[in-house]
Amino acid sequence: MRTPSTRLWTLCPAGASVLSEALRRELRLAWVLAQSQLAIDFGSSRLGYAWTVVRPFATFAILYTVFGRFLHIGGGLRDYTLYMLIGVIVWAFFSESTRAAMISLVAQRALLRHIPFPVRAVPLSALAVTTVTFAIELLVLFGFAGWRGISPGPDWLWLVLLLLELFAFSFAVSLLLAATYVRLRDIGEIWAVALQAFFYLTPIIYPLSRIPFWAQKLELVSPVAQAIEDFRSIILGRDSSQIPTVTDVFGPAGRLIPLAILALLLLAAFVVFRRESPLFAERA
């Protein structure tokens, strides 16, 4: 005799309908929670959504002044200003998404304890908030690229797939962090230090082409570093000598490496989150 959970995964129209409805319900709930958080974050601020542009661009201005103007790290690049800006914006999305999602379950402890609902929607809502701000930042980035004389081409359609990959990777890391944070609060401090280390290990400030080839391989294994370099290659123009991508370093099949890591991480994240979720209300 089949249980309801078994029937849910049955490959039949009814099972697919149940899965589809459950997914829609989870996405709707995540968006409602995200709208609530956006209203809290920006509703009482005079500048409102302008802060979503001010924060990363202020960081970029400081980094560019120090590393671009004073240290001349970007010498020889076609457009180091845009090169660094792409890295800062993409990294900011990953960093802010994972930090916000990590504490989201604890922040919503009252909701967890009183209302039964799909718990995965909570970290997903945190990711939705940062996705909205990321979209605004990308619009500014594209406007800046146009002002620098760069116009969109057919290759820019690949940005959609890159954005989906970046979102999926951020979501996987967010689920793992959120589940771990409920059990162990120290993970917040550990992740803050890890982000600082990853920031300098990722080619955000410095060109990837300036480091040894073996180090390029290590860096491009990361889906974030791979996405940053692909963003740059698409927007600034294909030049493997200045912007080596994962296919330049590993060969035509190299793109499968970060995608395989992403798939394994997603699987691990769903397994861990599902295993820990029955105790979230008690431990949060």
How confident is the model over 156-175, as a mean pLDDT? 95
Query: Does 270 fall in a domain?
Result: yes
Segment 142-159 mean pLDDT = 88
Q: How confident is the model at residue 213 (pLDDT cuts 50, 70, 90)?
A: very high
Report yes or no: 170 and 129 within 8 Å, Cβ to Cβ.
no
In a domain, 14, yes or no: no
- The answer to whether residue 152 is domain-embedded is yes
Does 100 score more than 90 pLDDT? yes
Count of structural domains within the chain: 1
Q: How confident is the model at residue 226 (pLDDT cuts 50, 70, 90)?
A: very high
Question: Would you say residue 21 lies in a domain?
Answer: no
CB count in 10 Å sphere of residue 158: 13
Is residue 218 predicted with pLDDT exceeding 60?
Answer: yes
More confident residue, 263 or 72: 263
**Domain assignment of residue 83, given as a range:** 51-283
What mean pLDDT is predicted for residues 168-173?
96
Look at residue 256 and tell me if it is in a domain: yes
Average pLDDT over residues 18-29: 74
pLDDT at position 192 is: 95
Q: With cut-offs at 50, 70 and 90, classify the pLDDT of residue 1.
A: very low
pLDDT at 277: 87
In a domain, 176, yes or no: yes
Q: DSSP secondary structure string, the chain? A: ---HHHHHT-SSHHHHHHHHHHHHHHHHHHHHHHHHHHHHHHHT-SSGGGHHHHHHHHHHHHHIIIIIIIS-TTTT-S-HHHHHHHHHHHHHHHHHHHHHHHTHHHHTHHHHHH----TTHHHHHHHHHHHHHHHHHHHHHHHHHHHTT----GGGGHHHHHHHHHHHHHHHHHHHHHHHHHH-TTHHHHHHHHHHHHHHHSTTSS-GGGS-HHHHHHHHTSHHHHHHHHHHHHHH---TTTS--HHHHH-GGGGHHHHHHHHHHHHHHHHHHHHHGGGHHHH-
In a domain, 12, yes or no: no
For residue 3, tell me if it sits in a domain: no
